[in-house]
Amino acid sequence: MKSLFQKKYNSNNFFLLAGPCAIESRDLAMQIAEKIVGITDRLGIPYVFKGSYRKANRTKADSFTGIGDELALSILKEVGEQFGVPTVTDIHETHEAALAARYVDVLQIPAFLCRQTELLAAAAQTGKAVNIKKGQFMSGASMGFAVEKVKMENPEANVMLTERGNSFGYSDLVVDYRNIVDMKVFDADVVMDCTHSLQRPNQTSGVTGGNPELIGTIAKAAIAVGADGLFIETHPDPANAKSDGANMLHLDKLEKLLEDLVRIREVVS
């Protein structure tokens, strides 16, 4: 069965949710979007621009959280309109659903909030597609209840479930690819988050670490086991990104990776 974005773009390829962790500025968002649109158009990959309008889950109180809600959301809307692509952003509380829905096409539920019934319901009520990140503390099989909560509010809702690893000790994550297979039985597209699954959380420095050199490995394995889509945060200068730079893919490395992934998709299909 073709996924939501495969149907929209009449494509048998995987789809891609990609962009910076957070909206840092209009110029940066446009730069990243233009680069990725050029690559995905050439490769025939359905593309969704990703950017968080606000970061609510920060380790330290003084960490970067955003440039202002309305400004960041307006940049997301402008990116979507200028490049003709859908857009996705996170929401954290029920009142944010209606606000964000005025600007973007997909509402994303962060992993730590995937069991929040009222948040899932609020997202569903907007009529937008809903991407639910699987909690680091949950199995893929248990995510059927999250889908059920959305569908109870809106039976026609387009739902995505995103694998992003499971907690392994206090400061690491591990990816169990059985979760992708398990989640594919639900009425939802299944996505692999290739960057957050490589985080090294809870560092004593108060800044989350990561293993970005393994992004390609995670992505290739996900396509091989049947993921419908990939989630990749990317930035032209990860070392100076305002959020999650330690696990983002350098923008210059994205094209070669996507070329390799398209070839893998062709083989497994």
How confident is the model over 191-211, as a mean pLDDT? 74
pLDDT in tens, 36-70: 999 999 999 999 999 999 987 766 776 777 899 99
Whole-model pTM: value is: 0.92
Q: Nearest 10 degrees: CA dihedral of 250, 266, 192, 219?
A: -40
Q: Nearest 10 degrees: CA dihedral of 156, 223, 162, 59?
A: -160
E strands along 140-269, which residues? 159-163, 166-167, 173-174, 189-193, 199-200, 209-210, 229-235, 249-250
pLDDT in tens, 9-24: 667 899 999 999 999 9
Closest CA to 17 of 217, 227, 266: 227
Confidence of residue 82 (pLDDT cuts 50, 70, 90): very high
Distance from the first to the final alpha carbon of the chain: 12
DSSP per-residue codes, 130-154: EEEEPPTTS-SGGGHHHHHHHHHH-
- Domains of the chain as residue ranges with CATH: 4-268 (3.20.20.70)
Whether 226 has a pLDDT exceeding 70, the answer reads: yes
